[in-house]
């Protein structure tokens, strides 16, 4: 017979750590304690890549945004289809994003999972806000695969899906 107190203690001992990250605020940590620095790294990269995305109309920002992506990145978008290269993805960003809207990470949704000998998986929910009106009117889920190689991080795969109106 299993001791109930032992079982509850065992479950609590393996529960994921949840503590607010320094930036962006209120991001949920879903990593093991040893991976907290990985979480912080990916959260900072997410903030940087989307700061450039959100300001891609400004000189140099679209190129900065592009620098976070592998040349052979695969970008899967449920509404827009698939792009197979960084140049195609950046052309779509230039045409459809720059000057039109910004992306905001929904606080508390970011999750980071290590990939042994490769990098990390980032998962979360983001909303999209129109520059013209200031109104945030769309929301979607995302998964980003990051490769860590020779001391730098690059995005190799992106899934952006479940796009829907923000209620």
Predicted local distance difference test score (pLDDT) of residue 1: 41
d(CA 110, CA 127): 13
126: containing domain: 25-165
CA–CA dist 110, 87 (Å, integer): 27
Can you give the pLDDT at residue 167?
Answer: 81
**Is 154 among the domain residues?**
yes
What does the pLDDT average to over 140-152? Answer: 97
Q: Is 4 part of a structural domain of the chain? A: no
Written as six digits, the tokens of 132 are 């013209």
Q: pLDDT for 55-69, tens place per residue?
A: 999 999 999 999 999
Residue 135 falls inside a structural domain: yes
Confidence of residue 20 (pLDDT cuts 50, 70, 90): very low
C-alpha to C-alpha distance for 97 and 46, rounded to whole angstroms: 17
Helices (H), the chain: 4-13, 36-54, 61-66, 86-96
Number of domains in the chain: 1
Mean pLDDT of 146-151: 96
In a domain, 8, yes or no: no
pLDDT in tens, 67-124: 999 999 999 999 999 999 999 999 999 999 999 999 999 999 999 999 999 999 999 9
* Predicted pLDDT at 99: 97
* Helix, strand and coil percent figures for the chain, each rounded to 5: 30, 40, 30
pLDDT given at position 35: 62
The domain that contains 63 carries what CATH number?
3.10.450.50
């Amino acid at each position: 017979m299993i001791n109930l107190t032992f079982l509850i203690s065992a479950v609590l001992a393996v529960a994921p750590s949840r503590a607010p990250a320094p930036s962006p605020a209120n991001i949920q940590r879903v990593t093991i304690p040893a991976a907290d620095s990985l979480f912080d790294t990916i959260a900072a990269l997410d903030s940087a890549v989307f700061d450039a995305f959100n300001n891609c109309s400004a000189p140099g920002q679209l190129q900065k945004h592009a620098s976070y992506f592998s040349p052979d990145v695969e970008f899967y978008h449920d509404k827009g289809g698939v792009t197979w290269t960084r140049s195609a993805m950046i052309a779509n960003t230039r045409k459809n994003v720059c000057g039109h809207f910004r992306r905001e990470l929904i606080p508390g949704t970011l999750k980071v999972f290590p990939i042994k000998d490769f990098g990390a998986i980032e998962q979360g929910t983001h909303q999209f806000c129109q520059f013209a009106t200031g109104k945030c009117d769309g929301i979607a889920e995302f998964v980003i695969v990051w490769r860590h190689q020779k001391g730098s991080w690059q995005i190799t795969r992106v899934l952006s899906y479940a796009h829907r109106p923000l209620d």
